[in-house]
Structure 1
Amino acid sequence: MIRELEAQERRLVLRGFTHDDAWHLGSLLVELARLREAPVAVDIRRGVQQLFHCALERATADNDVWLERKCRVVERYAESSFLVGARFRAKGTTFEASSRLDPDRYAAHGGAFPINVAGVGVVGVIAVSGLPQADDHALVVEALERFMQGGRNVVGA
C-alpha cells in the first residue's frame, strides 16, 4: 500500500496552482461527492489561506475539525495524511502512539493530500472528510486525476 500511495504523490504533480485552479478543483471534487451522495466537507488551502470550502448535506462541524487535523499532517510531513498513517502502521505502531504530536490537533487518517507543484514542492492541501479514510483519500485522488486529465495544470503540458 505504501508504494501505491507514494506513486500517487509522484504522479499527481501540478505545473502551477492558482486561486482559479482551487475553485475548479474544489468544484470538481464537490461534483464527484454529490454524484455519490457523499456527506463530506471539502477544503483546499494554499499555505495558510483557505481557498475553497464546501460542506455537503449531512456533513457536520466534526468534519471541519477532521479537515483541520488531517491538513496539519500534510503541512508537517509534506505527504498525504493516509501515507503518513500507513508508514506508522507499517512500523507496527500508530501515529497517535508514536508521532509525539497532539492527536487533538493532528490526524494521520486518509483524506488530505499535498498540492505539489513541479519545481516548487508542496504549496497547499486538498482534503475531504466524511467517509471512511480510504474512501476520503480515493475521492481526493480521483478529483486530482480528473483535474489533470482535463489538461489543466499538467506537468509538461
Structure 2
Amino acid sequence: MALSAPSTDPQALMTQETSPEQTFTEFTSETAWSLGNALRTRILSLPSNQRKPALISIALTGGAPLHIVFQAATERGTIPDNENWVRRKRNTVLRWGLSSWAMRQKMVSGLGAGASADQIEAAFVKKYAVASANGGAVADEYAIHGGGYPVRVRGVDGVVGVVVVSGLKQEDDHQVVAETIREFVAGQKN
C-alpha cells in the first residue's frame, strides 16, 4: 500500500507528533525490536515508485552515548552514507524535540514555497547558528530532511527515543515512520 503525502504545515506536524495516536504506552528494547521490524515490513511492501533500500535505526536517549536498540537495512543496496544521514537526522530530533521533517517545514514556511534546497539549508544554518565544518550552507551535524521522528511515552516528559529511516525520498522517510508509529501505538492500546 502506498504512503500518503505528509503534511507540510509545521504546526500540524508538531500537533500530530505529540498526539495520543503517536504516544507510546511504554517503549523498551522489545518495543524497538517490534517497531523496527514493522517498519522494515512496511517499507518492503511499498509500491515500486516509493520503495528503495533503506536503513532503519532506533535509539533510546537515556544516556551518553546514545543506546542504539535496533538497526537494520531493509534490503541490499543501502550505502555507508545512510548511516551519516541517520546520525544527522537523529541529532536534529534530539536538539529540537520534533521530527526532522517538521524542522524542514518550519524553515520552508519562513522562506516561501519557491525556496531552493540550498536556500532552505542556508537559512537553517544561519537561524540556528549550527556549525558547518567547511563554512558552507550545510550543517554537518544536523539534517532537516524527513525521516527522523521523536519517540514519546505517555506520562514521560520529553523525547525518550528517536526512530530514523534513511534511503527513501525524504517525505517518504518521514511518512513511513509516522504511519507505522500510529498503527503500532493503536495496537499497544488493545
Instruction: Quote the residue 1:18 is aligned against.
Output: 28
Instruction: Quote the residue 1:72 is aligned against.
Output: 91
Kindly report which structure 2 residues correspond to 1:4-153, keeping only aligned pairs within 5 A, or say none. Answer: 4-11=12-19, 12-36=22-46, 37-47=51-61, 48-56=66-74, 57-92=76-111, 94-102=123-131, 103-120=139-156, 121-150=158-187, 152=188
Q: Give the alignment's TM-score, normalised by structure 2.
A: 0.76
* Counterparts of 2:148 and 2:24, CA distance in 1: 16
Instruction: Quote the residue 2:134 is aligned against.
Output: none
CA shift, 1:49, in A, is 0.2
Q: Give the alignment's TM-score, normalised by structure 1.
A: 0.91
SS at match of 1:122: coil
User: Paired residues, what number?
Assistant: 153
SS at match of 1:43: strand
* Counterparts of 2:168 and 2:52, CA distance in 1: 7
CA contact (8 A) 1:72 1:105 kept: yes
CA shift, 1:16, in A, is 1.4
CA shift, 1:38, in A, is 2.7
Kindly provide the amino acid, as one letter, of the partner of residue 30 in structure 2.
D
CA shift, 1:9, in A, is 0.6
Q: CA-to-partner distance for each residue in 1:120-154, whole Å, 9 max, x for gaps?
A: 1210100100112111100101110121122x2x4
* Counterparts of 1:77 and 1:6, CA distance in 2: 11
More strand by share: 1
Kindly provide the amino acid, as one letter, of the partner of residue 3 in structure 1.
Q
Structure possessing the higher radius of gyration over alpha carbons: 2
Identity %: 33
* Counterparts of 1:2 and 1:88, CA distance in 2: 9
* Counterparts of 1:82 and 1:58, CA distance in 2: 24
Kindly provide the amino acid, as one letter, of the partner of residue 39 in structure 1.
P
CA contact (8 A) 2:89 2:100 kept: yes
Q: Give ranges in structure 1 of 5+ residues lacking alignment.
A: none
Q: What is the Cα-based RMSD across aligned positions, in Å?
A: 1.5
Q: CA-to-partner distance for each residue in 1:13-49, whole Å, 9 max, x for gaps?
A: 1121111000000000011111124310000000110
Q: Give ranges in structure 2 of 5+ residues lacking alignment.
A: 1-8, 112-119, 132-138
* Counterparts of 2:173 and 2:101, CA distance in 1: 9
* Counterparts of 1:74 and 1:6, CA distance in 2: 12
CA shift, 1:91, in A, is 1.7
